[in-house]
Amino acid sequence: MKFDMEKSVTRAQALELMKERWRPAPGREVVALEEALGRVAAEDLRAVNTLPVFRASCFDGVAVRSADFQNGLPDTSAWVKGRNFVRADTGDDFPDEFDTVIAIEDVILDKLGGLRFAEGFAFDPEEETVDPAGTIVKEGALLVPAHTRITPELTASLAMGGVAWVPVLRRPRIAFIPTGSELIPPGAVPQRGQNVETNGLMLTGLLNRRGAEVIRHPIVRDDAAALERAMDEALSCADLVLINGGSSRGEEDFNSHMLERRGSFFRHGVKAVPGRPVGFAIVDGKPVINVPGPVAAAYLAEHWCLSALVCHWYGLPDPQYPTVRAVLDKPLKKRPGFEMIARVALRRTPGGYAAAPLSWGDDGIPDLLLHTDGFVNVPLEVDALPAGAEVEVELLKSPELIPGEEG
């Protein structure tokens, strides 16, 4: 299908159009706490425990009676462990007859069970040495708000609050349909005119990481009826459908024509490069995204579009990526009238970071996937950025992996 500049929209506009028309209502399920990591809470999760249940020592030490210190430091020569004091380490409860704690570094315990005070120790009756009940967590306290992704830290909070079973939102099921008679599965040896279907593996991994469940369909050859059958099967079992390939102007690109005919909503193309010919549709009330075939375009479609739709399913904000400021070491040009997602290589400098723009097409796919450190989003209204311009770079790697001047 021919790209229509007048009907095309920016990436942000495309997402907004889809979100306005897709109002997912994910179901709920209950999972064990051990399986809740990375899931999204279906409701506010509150503590059913109170900790400490009664009280607990604030630090390692010995529990004593404050009444014994009313007239200063008592003579402890006849003190016996269990009668005049007990050990009370951090978080420990202790017998009710004792009401305060002395830090372990302020006492000397002998092998016979006696105790004497360290030189210089002064008893302070105002010192807070005991945590009252509920200092750590109280029954009914909010542990995890609804629509929050559960992190390792939050699993600890839930465990402390006594939550053993966690109501979570069902993962979105995303069907992936690779199309093209030229495609062969990974592991097969390509012959002349053939290409390996790689986007399925890549997008499955990326979307799994976002919290989606991906259903990979077999390769669909260039046949309109076969494509329609595959989409109908996908719509019957998935919440969102990805059709990969056949989104541009090729003679056998049936996908856009089918989506335009079947969809209650259809929009073809975004004002962004790479990945301009992405298609958007709502078919039978479900989003169907026609993802371009090239690996770089498919990767970018996940980065800005598919990831945001998964977040929309969960009621979460669009993903935000860590950024750094960097100085371009050479000019960055783009096609007028389009947003551009520029790939860059970064290096650390004494003043921060330098960014070297990289081509999307000249260095091969392995270089593209291995050596891209981040993206620079160049807006629609900017045609070029000069060398020396400061830009914001979305990081694809952890900062510690960015080489220095001699890296």
Rounded to an integer, the average pLDDT of 49-78 is: 95
Of residues 369 and 41, which shows the higher confidence score?
Answer: 41
Residue 251's pLDDT band, with cuts at 50, 70 and 90, is very low
Question: Mean pLDDT over all residues of the chain?
Answer: 93
> pLDDT at position 4, please?
61
Is the per-residue pLDDT at 392 higher than 90? yes
The whole-number average pLDDT for the span 348-375 is 84
Work out whether strand 213-216 and strand 173-178 pair parallel, antiparallel, or are unpaired. Answer: parallel
Q: What is the pLDDT of residue 367?
A: 72
360 — pLDDT class (breaks 50, 70, 90): confident
Give the Cβ contact number of residue 167 at 10 Å: 17
Model pLDDT, residue 368: 74
Q: What is the pLDDT of residue 301?
A: 95
Domains and CATH numbers, the chain: 11-26+171-314 (3.40.980.10), 34-49+138-169 (3.90.105.10), 55-132 (2.170.190.11), 323-401 (2.40.340.10)
- Render pLDDT for 163-208 as a digit per residue (tens, 0 to 9): 999 999 999 999 999 999 999 999 999 999 999 999 999 999 999 9
Q: What is the pLDDT of residues 11-31, one digit of tens each?
A: 999 999 999 999 999 999 999
pLDDT digits (tens, 9 = 90+) for 134-147: 999 999 999 999 99
What is the pLDDT at residue 76? Answer: 96
What is the rounded CA–CA span in Å between residue 135 and residue 290? 53
Output the pLDDT for position 55.
93
CA gap 149, 38 in Å, rounded: 6
DSSP string covering 112-126, please?
A: TS-EEEPTT----TT
What is the full DSSP assignment across 378-391?
Answer: E-TT--EE-TT-EE
- Does residue 246 register a pLDDT over 90? no
Q: Rounded to the nearest 5 degrees, what angle is found at the Cα of 319, between the Cα atoms of 316 and 320? A: 130
294 Cβ contact partners less than 8 Å away, ≥ 6 residues apart: 274
What pLDDT, on the 0 to 100 scale, is given for residue 141? Answer: 97
Q: Residue 257: what pLDDT?
A: 87
Q: What is the mean pLDDT of residues 127-139?
A: 94
pTM for the model: 0.86
Least confident of 8-12, 66-70, 176-180: 8-12
Give the pLDDT confidence of 363-384 residue by residue, as tens digits.
Answer: 567 777 778 999 999 999 999 9
Neighbour-count burial of 328, counting CB atoms closer than 10 A to its CB (0-12 exposed, 13-18 middle, 19+ buried): buried
Whether residue 358 is predicted with pLDDT greater than 70 in this model: the reply is yes
DSSP for residue 33: G
